[in-house]
Amino acid sequence: MPTFFNTLDELDKFTMELELHQDELQCVNCHKSDQFVSHGYVYKKKNKNERRIVGKRIFCSNRFGKLGCGCTLRFYLAIDIPKLQFNTAHVTTFLTHLFKGSSIEKSYATATGTAEPRQAYRWLKKLDLKRLDYRHASSQCIQAATQLCTSANRRVRLLLSSLQPLWFNRTLKATSLCASQANPCEHYQYLQQTAFL
């Protein structure tokens, strides 16, 4: 079942034609696939008064004669990372600066404009936990990079060596269907159908 979509139009089309996707969809609670209805958008706050659409929900309907369980499923745009305030462009900038040899604090400050680096270490922990997934995804593509990771931090060196084939593989980017060819995080989410972080 797809979780990430390139554009909002693609996502809207998918959620408006749920009858056509019954063989792909199945509720995680009641295991039914024919009770879904489009339910509404998922938003994230940009600042106090602004919010932006980052995804859409579908509803396993238990209303109007439907026999679903009432739970909702979320689908996201590939540019956004679920449960994270910042999007893939911020994480891409963070990791790009780490690849260039910048410190963790400077990389995070450049990516987010935030001087407090505490969250950077949380990002690193999440990235480290997904290192095996990155290696699996990179084993599926041609290895094109031979750059060395030059970081004083051992954990960062291990992480960057796992991400390196995904990051610098021009063949992978050239065959991408993503709207943003230069964003490896967005590309990963779209192809692997799982959150980058």
Q: Check whether residue 106 and residue 162 sit in a common domain.
A: yes
Q: Check whether residue 177 and residue 102 sit in a common domain.
A: yes
Q: Check whether residue 127 and residue 180 sit in a common domain.
A: yes
CB atoms within 10 A of CB 33: 17
Tens of pLDDT along 68-110?
Answer: 787 888 888 888 888 888 888 898 889 888 888 888 889 999 9
Angle CA 85–187–193, to nearest 5: 80
pTM: 0.71
Structural domain for 149, as ranges: 88-192
Question: What local confidence, expressed as pLDDT, does residue 169 receive?
Answer: 61
User: What is the rounded CA–CA span in Å between residue 161 and residue 45?
Assistant: 34
Q: Which residues of the chain have pLDDT under 70?
A: 1, 138-152, 167-182
Q: Check whether residue 112 and residue 181 sit in a common domain.
A: yes
| 3-class DSSP state of 154 | helix
Q: Check whether residue 55 and residue 92 sit in a common domain.
A: no
Question: With contact defined as beta carbons under 8 Å apart, do 58 and 36 qualify?
Answer: yes
Decide if 83 is inside a domain.
no
State the total domains in the chain: 2
Instruction: Note the Cα 51 to chain centre separation in Å.
Output: 19
Q: Check whether residue 63 and residue 130 sit in a common domain.
A: no
